Amino acid sequence: MPQQAGTRKCSLWAKGAVGDWWLTQVFGGHPFRQIMGFNADEAGRRFRDEAASKLPGRTGAYPLIDWGWGRQRVKDYLLDRFGVHWPRSYCTFCCYPVSMGALPAHLERMRTHPDIAGEVLRLEYTAMSLNPNAKLYGRKSLLELFDPTQPRDRACLEAFERELDMPWALYHVVPA
C-alpha cells in the first residue's frame, strides 16, 4: 500500500527506473534526445529531471515548458484536436490525490469505473487488515469517502464486495 510518509519515490521506481533501463538497452550510450511532457505550470520538474538524469548521451527536451503551455492550454489543445477530454494518467491506488488537491477528480474517476474502485478498496482493506494505520489517505481511508446512499458510490462499494468474495488466507512465513 502506498504511504504518504517520507519521500515520494514511486514514480522514480515504476516509471523512471524502467524507462532508464529501456533507454540504456536501446541507445547503449549513443546520443539521444528524450522528450518530456512537463507543462509550463510544473517548470520545476525540468530542473529535477536534468539533475536526476545520469544516462550517458541523453539530452532532455521540454517543449511544453519552452512553448509556455500550462495544463489548461494543453487540455484545450487536446480537446480541440481530438474532441474528447483527456484525463491525466495516474495510478488508481495513489495516495497523493489528497495532498495534490486532485481528490474530487480522483473520486469521480472511481465512480466512473467502479470495478477499479473495488480493486483499490480491496488493496486498502488488505493493508489495513495487517496494519490499521495503513489507510490510503493518511487519516482517511478510501472506504470512508464513499456514501452508500449515493447510487454511483454504491456501485463502487458493490464492486468492493465482489472483490472480497473469494477465499482468503494469511500465512506467517519464517525464514529457514
Count of beta carbons in the 10 Å neighbourhood of residue 124: 22
**Grid coordinates given for 172:** 506467517
Q: pLDDT tens-digit profile of 55-106?
A: 899 999 999 999 999 999 999 999 999 999 887 776 776 766 665 567 888 8
Could you give the CA distance from residue 170 to residue 67 in angstroms, rounded to a whole number?
A: 54
Helix (H, G, I), strand (E, B) or coil at 2: coil
pLDDT for the residue numbered 8: 61
Per the CB < 8 A criterion, the answer to whether 61 and 34 are in contact is yes
Confidence of residue 7 (pLDDT cuts 50, 70, 90): low
Tell me the whole-structure pTM to 2 decimals.
Answer: 0.66
Over residues 115-162, the pLDDT tens digits come to 999 999 999 999 898 889 888 887 888 999 999 999 999 999 999 999
pLDDT of residue 151: 96
